[in-house]
Structure 1
Amino acid sequence: MTTTPSPVRVLIADDSPQQRAGWRMVLESQPDMTVIGEAGDGARALAIVRREPADVVLMDLHMPRVNGLAASERITRDAIVRELGAVPRIVLATALDLDDHVAEAARAGVFAVVYKDVDPESLLEIVRAAASSESGSDERRG
């Protein structure tokens, strides 16, 4: 008897409702992915993953209140998130200056940093790779 693997649970965090909608459309077009929620800033993203286990957080680098780097550090080190059983992998997205943030992202425990205009196929590949990753950072550029 074969079992169907659970879908990859993704949280989307971006201050732009249009960006969130676009990412949601791409992710939910896949039978092996489900979006568990959306957040407009890093503080809200942390609050959601404290309640709802996520495999991957797809998050904007530049957001109000708590930016993507600070939120990544908080999510990967948060005791409540760890108690849920698995710390989600973080994929940060930026419209600008990707190279300026790769080292900081690695220190924050981020799996990958991509440009926001990454093509859908590459985005899906990175999200799947993040979900199947066991440990450590693997900064990628998309």
Structure 2
Amino acid sequence: MTGTSRTITVALADDQQLVRAGFAMVLDSQDDIEVAWQAVDGVDAVRCATQQPVDIILMDVQMPNLDGISATRQIVDAGVLGPGGEPTRVVVLTTFDNDEYVMNSITAGASGFLLKDADPEDLIDAVRTVGEASAVISPKATARLLR
């Protein structure tokens, strides 16, 4: 449980239904995390974020219509506030361990970057960490950037 007794609301933005379903199942299994909505692309994510704000959005990088980095920038620039009154935070998720994705995500205002092959426990920990106003970056990406 986080430092507050409040539930962390999470949204999922990914064009692959099976990926969304898997993440939703993992996150909804936790008492302190609730998946509020799911988006099929970046345009849908921006619309949902402004209509039903959440604490954290897990955002895929590569999606049709509007990629995750551009959607992240739009959500951050719009100043969307989550249910707790804090800005909605975005954790970018991708299959591709790519320095450009990491840097562009952080530049766009993302609070974190994780690879989709992360263990379920790492995903849950990342949501809780970012929910407590911290940032999280994949250990693989961090090591490479520090080199």
Q: TM-score range by the shorter chain?
A: 0.7 to 0.9
Residue in structure 2 matched with residue 19 of structure 1 by the alignment:
19
Q: In the alignment, residue 138 of structure 2 is paired with which amino acid?
A: R
Which stretch has the larger CA shift, 23-32 or 125-134?
125-134
Which position in structure 2 is the counterpart of 1:8?
8
Give distance in 1, aligned partners of 2:93 and 2:47.
20
Question: What is the alpha-carbon root mean square deviation over aligned residues?
Answer: 1.8
Corresponding residue of 1:117: 117
1:140 and 2:140 are equivalent in the alignment: no
Contact 2:53–2:82 (8 Å) recurs in 1? no
1:51 equivalent in alignment to 2:88: no
- How high is the TM-score relative to the length of structure 2? 0.85
Between stretches 41-50 and 23-32, larger displacement belongs to 41-50
1:69 aligns with 2:66: no
Would you say the 8 A contact 1:110–1:139 is kept in 2?
no
Deviation at 1:87, TM superposition (A): 2.0
Query: 2: CA distance between counterparts of 1:60 and 1:103?
Result: 15
Count of residue pairs the alignment pairs up: 135
Unaligned runs of 5+ in 1: none
Q: Is the 8 A contact 1:98 1:114 kept in 2?
A: no
